[in-house]
Amino acid sequence: MNKKIAVFASGTGSNFINITNNVKNGKIDAKIVLLVSNNPKCGAINFALQNKISYKIINDFRYPDEEDRNKEYELVLKYYKTDLILLAGFMKKIPKNIIKLYENKIMNVHPSLLPKYGGYGYYGMKVHDAVIESQDKFSGATIHFVNKEYDKGPIIIQEKVALSNSDNAYSLSKKVLQIEHKIYAKAVKAFCADQISTKANKVLINE
């Protein structure tokens, strides 16, 4: 039976688009049932509309009370019988009630080789700027499960990329995004095929 996936995105949602395309072409045995966003004007919403994917806007404006807002996440995810949540550039912290309900069922993509350049304040171009400033020889991307601490959940897959002398934060971001698309799809495919197990905070992929 197809796993049901909800994607959380705040911007263009390139990883959302990539995963959806992998589902469409049969590489991932799943169904994208929902997009959750805090930004009603983001590109991810446009893509959802074009592809007839249901979406829900949850933000401070529509749900000013935090308890109501957190409950709304729970209700909508349950309504769509969500098996897996994918974070794809979602700029809000996931509520504790959702992390508890979906333990080891929430994946995030991070544009560095965690634990390097992870944690509060490290996101997007800020990560790439830090890598360039540190003159690292390698960077990469990490797919991990989400827990209560920023970027501290169990790592599922990492892949690195070499930096050249001419790289800047922008060119590095393009290299890393290619890796993100590749390994995120791989992690989601493994989850949907029931090939992922977690023991003592370590993730095993049984291919």
Catalytic residues: 110
| C-beta atoms surrounding 109 within 10 Å | 23
Q: Residues with Cβ < 8 Å from 199, sequence gap 6 or more?
A: none
Residue 107 to residue 112: CA distance in whole angstroms: 15
Integer-rounded Cα radius of gyration of the chain? 17
CA 117 from centre of chain: 16
| C-beta atoms surrounding 72 within 10 Å | 18
Residue 91 to residue 72: CA distance in whole angstroms: 17
What amino acid is encoded at 196 in this protein? I
Residue 132 to residue 164: CA distance in whole angstroms: 10
Residue 14 to residue 145: CA distance in whole angstroms: 19
By C-alpha distance, which of 113, 118, 111 is closest to 180?
111
Residue 142 near residue 112, CB atoms below 8 Å: yes
